[in-house]
Structure 1
């Protein structure tokens, strides 16, 4: 009798644990997900960690995964997470495999293709670079968020339907649409909601 009670308790705990794991996968994969900024491409807006300087800790941000899944299109100024593999179609399985909990269980780290950038152009926009300034539909952009003036140039581009053009705020240290071209909206996997660490820099985006 006692052994049956113990087995029932083990079964109940196991069922609760499985439910908790599945719920965590659902929340972090499709709703909200914390993330550490690991690159310098969005500085000074968001600071990336530096493996060579222990005192430079990457900002912690909360990402809303569902905002674009629910049909909302990325807008000008949105700080977004993109899958830079624009030559392949993202599937539902990508959302599962890219889940932080799944990656930890599988001991895989394939985050290199996830980039954090700012939306500069939407579908139908004509973007060009003239005399050190980015122009959108012949209007100069006022970009008080960039770290420094951009060195170099990029070819003028008409953003296709269902695509966005993204760039990092640290223009001279960023891989973005200047390299890979306009990004399919299905490759925009989340929007940065707010920075929650460091505590003295908490801010909403």
Structure 2
């Protein structure tokens, strides 16, 4: 009887250790939670939204335009922003219209916000890539240009400069908390 109890305890401890080990590996290498801090991605993301970050996606593919990414803005702070410019591209905004290599590009995720604004207001102040820190003419390989959806209240590439791919933690598109905001965010 005593041996059976010890064996049962050992089996439980072993199962728990394996479960914790798997959870640790998944969190370290594949997925991790993050909480949105601030209004810079409004109305797409709200302050306090809790999301899952896919940490391995950019090991197997490059970012796409309009992906929402988490990156290390400093040693202690991660930011959530949207990829706007990709390597080899020239980015500018004029009269609230995004231009990539001189071509107009629609930003459907901003439409709701633009409709709520007065005709004399602009969401995104005019800028071009050369105006940003680094004064690049095109985005170099291994970098992306990121902007928040709430362009008037976002610390993004316009202040920080381009974001190196090695600073990107991963892509996020799933809000799991609060319950009334559970959704998958589409990139378009």
Task: Write the distance in 2 (CA, Å) between the matches of 1:140 and 1:174.
Answer: 22
Q: Name the SS of the counterpart of 1:76 in structure 2.
A: coil
Which consecutive residues of structure 1, in runs of 5 or more, have no partner in the other structure? 49-57, 86-109
Deviations 1:117-159 (A, max 9, x none): 1010110011123334332111233224234612464616421
Whether the aligned pair in 1 keeps the contact of 2:95 and 2:125 (CA below 8 Å) is no
Q: In the aligned structure 1, how far is the partner of 2:39 from the partner of 2:25?
A: 30
Inter-partner Cα distance in structure 1 for 2:104 and 2:25:
42
Which residue among 139, 145, 148 is the counterpart of 2:103? 139
Say if 2:69 and 2:170, in contact at 8 Å, map to a contact too.
yes
Matches for 1:20-31 after TM superposition, within 5 Å: 20-31=19-30
Q: Is the 8 A contact 1:74 1:185 kept in 2?
A: no
TM-score by length of 2: 0.77
| 2:53 is aligned with 1:63 | yes
Q: 1:166 aligns with which of 122, 137, 146?
A: 146
| Runs (5+) with no aligned partner, structure 2 | 115-122
Alignment of 1:76 with 2:56, yes or no, is: no
1:171 Cα deviation after fit: 1.1
Partner of 1:202: 182
Inter-partner Cα distance in structure 2 for 1:10 and 1:124: 59
Q: 1:170, 1:152 → 2: CA distance?
A: 15
Which SS does the other structure have where 2:45 is aligned?
coil
TM-score (structure 1 length as normaliser): 0.71
Q: How many residues align?
A: 169
